[in-house]
């Protein structure tokens, strides 16, 4: 298991261009209003933090990885600025390349109990 996925590290990385650096926005548009809006948007930054989320603790994930023989890369949600929903597998998609999928849409190794999924209706980040 990678160090980052095991510890659940998350954070924002902000990189801003130097004020002296040329802005090639004229390659996108020549409209002066649009150019002004692009420059304004560059000054009014809205951060976007995206992270995967699992509703299982590390011990469970380690036991699952041991049973599967590989890292556990099945996530419950993708969070954007801390908000997101759980989406369950659609009933008609129960296998992929001959392998059974659990309710979350993850490959279900033989001999392990089925994973259940409860869809959520949380807000999305706008």
Percentage of the chain exceeding pLDDT 90: 18
3-7's contacts with Cβ under 8 Å and 24+ in sequence apart are: 5/52, 5/71, 6/58, 6/61
Tens digit of each residue's pLDDT (9 = 90 or more) over 44-57: 887 888 888 888 88
Tens digit of each residue's pLDDT (9 = 90 or more) over 1-46: 444 544 555 667 777 778 899 999 999 999 999 999 999 988 888 7
Do the bridges between strand 95-96 and strand 77-80 make them parallel or antiparallel, or are there none, so unpaired?
unpaired
Percentage of the chain exceeding pLDDT 70: 90
Residue extents of the structural domains in the chain: 47-125
Look up the pTM and report it.
0.55
Q: What was the pLDDT predicted at 1?
A: 45
CA distances from 69 to 1, 62, 126 (A): 11, 10, 38
C-alpha of 31 from chain center: 35
């Amino acid at each position: 298991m990678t160090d980052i996925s095991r510890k659940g590290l998350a954070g924002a990385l902000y990189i801003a261009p130097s004020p002296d650096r040329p802005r090639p926005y004229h390659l996108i548009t020549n409209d002066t209003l649009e150019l002004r809006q692009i420059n304004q948007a560059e000054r009014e930054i809205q951060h976007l933090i995206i992270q995967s989320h699992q509703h299982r603790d590390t011990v469970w994930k380690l036991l699952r990885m041991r049973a599967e023989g590989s890292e556990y890369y099945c996530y419950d949600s993708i969070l954007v600025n801390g908000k997101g929903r759980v989406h369950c597998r659609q009933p008609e998609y129960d296998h992929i390349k001959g392998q059974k999928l659990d309710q979350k849409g993850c490959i279900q190794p033989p001999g392990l109990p089925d994973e259940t999924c409860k869809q959520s209706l949380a807000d999305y980040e706008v």
